[in-house]
Amino acid sequence: MAEKMLGKYKSRRNSARLVQTDAGRFVIKTFAQEESFQKELQIYRLLQDKELPCAGVIAADDKTLVLTELPGRNLVECLQQQEKTGVPAWEVWEKLVAWLVAFHRHTGFVMTDVNLRNFLFDDKTKMLYGLDFEECGTCNMMLPAARVAAFIRTYKPENTVLKQEISQYVLELFARSCEMEAESLFLESARQEAEILARRKNRI
């Protein structure tokens, strides 16, 4: 089938590109590692027919997934926009928590790479989507909850009042919906923040 490349997404480990074909627009994700490809495919299979907003798998072969194109902007862009206006969009963060909790319920796995580029929010339909499932674990919800809040605080400019407010709200929502002790969750999130900042420093 004829295929026209429309763009490349930011991807550190793999390659993800948007293409136009006769049958429509699709995202083609090619993995660097076979293991990661198999893991992501396993999760997509577990999510099939579940009511969790995510891409559909059109084809899977040779370390490559062909996915339906999701609408919306990633949450790094959403957060930047909120920083500009100074108004937190609470609905986005409520949907993020609900999505991560539902992901655990439906798959039995937790998503551990919860950087905010792995979530898209569509302003028109108010739908939130998750993607990038190659790193999933079997631990409890403490890790993704603490880490996603740490990610919220550490995008530049780091730890603004708005980011701290959103992070606190997210942690409180997780503590309530997963029956976790709030104090342990806040402590774990501080540990995750230190880890994210150290990793970033080492990369430069």
What residue ranges bind ligand ADP (CB under 6 A)?
9, 11-14, 16, 27, 29, 55, 67, 69-70, 74, 117-118, 131-132, 134
CB under 5 to 8 A by kind: which of Mg ion, ligand ADP, none does 128 bind? Answer: none
From the CB of 56, what's the least distance to ligand ADP, in Å?
Answer: 9
User: Which long-range contacts (C-beta less than 8 Å, at least 24 apart) are formed by 73-77?
Assistant: 73/120, 73/121, 73/122, 73/123, 74/116, 74/117, 74/118, 74/119, 74/120, 75/116, 75/117, 75/119, 75/120, 75/121, 76/116, 76/117, 76/155
From the CB of 132, what's the least distance to Mg ion, in Å?
Answer: 4
Query: Whose Cβ is closer to ligand ADP: residue 74's or residue 167's?
Result: 74
Residue 14 contacts Mg ion per CB under 5 A: no
Rounded to whole angstroms, how far apart are CA atoms 192 and 124?
33
Q: Judged by CB under 5 A, which of 40, 132, 134, 188 binds Mg ion? A: 132
Binding part of the chain for Mg ion, among 110-118, 136-144, 163-171, 180-188 by CB under 5 A, reads 110-118
Nearest residue relative to Mg ion (C-beta): 132
CB under 5 to 8 A by kind: which of Mg ion, ligand ADP, none does 28 bind? Answer: none
Residues in the chain: 204
E strand intervals along the chain:
3-8, 15-21, 24-30, 57-61, 64-68, 73-74, 110-111, 119-122, 127-130, 136-137
Binding part of the chain for Mg ion, among 16-24, 78-86, 115-123, 178-186 by CB under 5 A, reads 115-123
Which of 134, 148, 131, 158 has the alpha carbon at shortest distance from 192?
148
From the CB of 73, what's the least distance to Mg ion, in Å?
Answer: 15
CB under 5 to 8 A by kind: which of ligand ADP, Mg ion, none does 167 bind? Answer: none
From the CB of 16, what's the least distance to Mg ion, in Å?
Answer: 8
CB under 5 to 8 A by kind: which of ligand ADP, Mg ion, none does 70 bind? Answer: ligand ADP
Q: 53 — phi, psi (to 5°)?
A: -65, 115
3-state SS assignment for residue 24: strand
From the CB of 159, what's the least distance to ligand ADP, in Å?
Answer: 23
Rounded to whole angstroms, how far apart are CA atoms 186 and 27?
36
List contacts with Mg ion (CB under 5 A). 118, 132
